[in-house]
Structure 1
Amino acid sequence: MALQITEECINCDLCPVECPNEAISMGAEIYEINADLCTECIGHYDQPSCVEICPVECIELNPNKKETLDQLAAKYTQLHS
């Protein structure tokens, strides 16, 4: 699954810098994750770097964007080829 940022976001500016796919950008009020670019850091790190760095733990799985590990890996390959 891709990830999403919840309303608890405090706009600390840490997550956009951490995202290797540049999937995180400022939305209308809080940061947002572009599900088409999010691979949960598959191909880059063992764990999603944005989740690891978030001080308020507001990044969670996006139930509207279910993907298998194979699909996430394929997305990584497509984004970085």
Structure 2
Amino acid sequence: MTYDGFQIEAFEAGRGLWHARIRREDFEPVVIDGVSFPELEVGFAWSNAEAAIADAKTRIDYLNRRSVVPGQRRKVAHA
């Protein structure tokens, strides 16, 4: 699924232990404190995929508020 510029992939890492992986839709890395990440595994071991996806959406909202997405930083830096 996609959400606010990111792709979210829920996956089961053990029986009933759901996690989520997020990656930018344009496949550019997410840069956090100068460290580049092609994708991020987020959250805890949730009991179902829907909970993992909901947590991933929360993390995406946080990343977008901090403007750690490279494209957003470039726009600010060149304004």
TM-score (norm. length: structure 2): 0.27
Higher relative contact order (CA 8 A, sep 6+): 1
Higher relative strand content: 2
Higher relative helix content: 2
